Amino acid sequence: MSDMRRVVEASTFFDGSRLKIARQLAGLRKSQLAELIEKSPTAVAAWESGAKRPTPTNVAQLALGLSVDPGFFSARPVDLSSSTSLPHFRSLRSTSQLARDQASAYGLLAVDIAAAFERHVEFPDANIPAFPVDLAANGDGAPEAAARALRDSWALESGPLGHLVRLLENHGVLVVFSAPQTSAVDAYSFDCPLRPVVVLNPVKRDYYRQRFDVAHELGHLVMHADAEPGGRTVEEQANRFAAELLMPADEISELLPTSMGRHAWTTFGQLKEQWGVSIQALLYRARHLGRLGDVSYRNAMISLSGKGWRRDEPGLVTVIEQPSLLPHALDVLQGAGISADELIDQSRVPAELFEIVTARTPSEVAVPNTTFDDHGPAPRNVVSLLPRVSARKVSEQQKHHPELEPHSKGAER
């Protein structure tokens, strides 16, 4: 198919929500995109809202300016933007709206790619039972009850849980790593009409903490379908859900030390490896269940900090859990003669992002100035996930390609 034919088709089937996703992936505000393609912010806003439809010339300029295939803007079977729940981010204060918008767009892109795969392979049906909790009754034990109910619903055996990412995938959850450029945003989750999604941070490569992240996001999917994301109560409930899911009170309580004597650290180290959780999580669990008093807990955390373990806790397992739903499907399809290039073409997404979404492991691209503490990753500036094209380059391309020039006043809407 010729480039101009794709441009014309994209103009005919243009979906403004797709332009919004592309703009957010690029980390741009409407005014910045307008400046890049030398159009007015009003025009960009009208295209995104669906109030006006861009001409083929406009579509070509948008595709060039954002470095996406023109087909990226074509309507999909389901409008994910309007029917997807708001993502649950850890802290709305530590991430800018621009960064959250970009992360949301990346998650929708992952769903795009999964939808392209599902034309050829069958994924597990989504099976996330709903156990809503009352945000006004935070001390009623509802998050713990939801975790126990999930264990019953999924017929999970007692004791430590195995591969948690695989468990979610087997129940229809799409789990992917985010792009390294978005590492300032911690793990997040959302539900959409096609399947629930969990996006993991690409630089927090800690097996034990990642498992808690996965359980935390599962808690949001189970309990908070209609809850406003980012609130303190919502996040605390997800933590309590994760703690009960990974460390059921009736199974672990008697195993936890009641004081920080000389053998306590050895016991916590053994429990860490047995249950697949961090010592910090075990200490918090011990205090929450009344096994450790506040003074003992506080002293233990001070000791943990003194050892430098608040950010880098030692453990035997050094390889994080890896998603397999999309990577395995990609291997199967390639074995059946369907190449990655064909899948990229069908999903109409940038090849670089396709590779990140379908990878088993996080991208090895180094991202500076991203550190983690108890409050999550340190904030960074929003960096485009798309190859950034300068306004000057767009203008030069228009000069060398007459088909990108407006043919009449009516072409610039």
At residue 377, does pLDDT exceed 70? no
The least confident of 83-92, 102-111, 162-171, 213-222 is 83-92
Reduced to 3 states (helix: H, G, I; strand: E, B; else coil), residue 18 is: helix
Confidence of residue 311 (pLDDT cuts 50, 70, 90): confident
Q: pTM of the full predicted structure?
A: 0.89
Confidence of residue 77 (pLDDT cuts 50, 70, 90): confident
Between CA 213 and CA 235 the distance in angstroms is: 11
pLDDT at 364: 62
Query: What would the two tokens of residue 277 be?
Result: 């959780």
DSSP assignment of 26-84: TT--HHHHHHHTT--HHHHHHHHHTSS---HHHHHHHHHHHT--GGGGBPPSS-HHHHS
Structure tokens at 251: 């199974």
Q: What pLDDT, on a 0 to 100 scale, did the predictor assign at position 135? A: 85
What is residue 76's DSSP assignment? P
Local structure of residue 336 (DSSP, 8 states): T
In the DSSP assignment, the letter for residue 179 is P
pLDDT tens column, 79-125? 777 667 788 887 666 678 899 999 999 999 999 999 999 999 999 99
Q: Kindly tell me if the per-residue pLDDT of 369 is higher than 50.
A: no
Least confident of 262-276, 317-331, 353-367: 353-367
Q: Classify 99 as helix, strand or coil.
A: helix
Which residue is listed with tokens 């055996």?
Answer: 157
Greatest Cα pair distance in the chain: 82
DSSP assigned state of 14: B
Let me know if 45 is exposed, middle or buried by CB neighbors in 10 A (0-12, 13-18, 19+): middle
Task: Check pLDDT > 80 for residue 18.
Answer: yes
**Which structural domains are found in the chain, ordered by start?**
1-68+386-413 (1.10.260.40), 79-246+317-384 (no CATH)
pLDDT at 411: 39
- Helical pair 279-288 and 264-275, crossing angle rounded to 10 deg: 110
H-helix or E-strand spanning residue 62: helix 56-66
CB 19 within 8 A of CB 48: yes
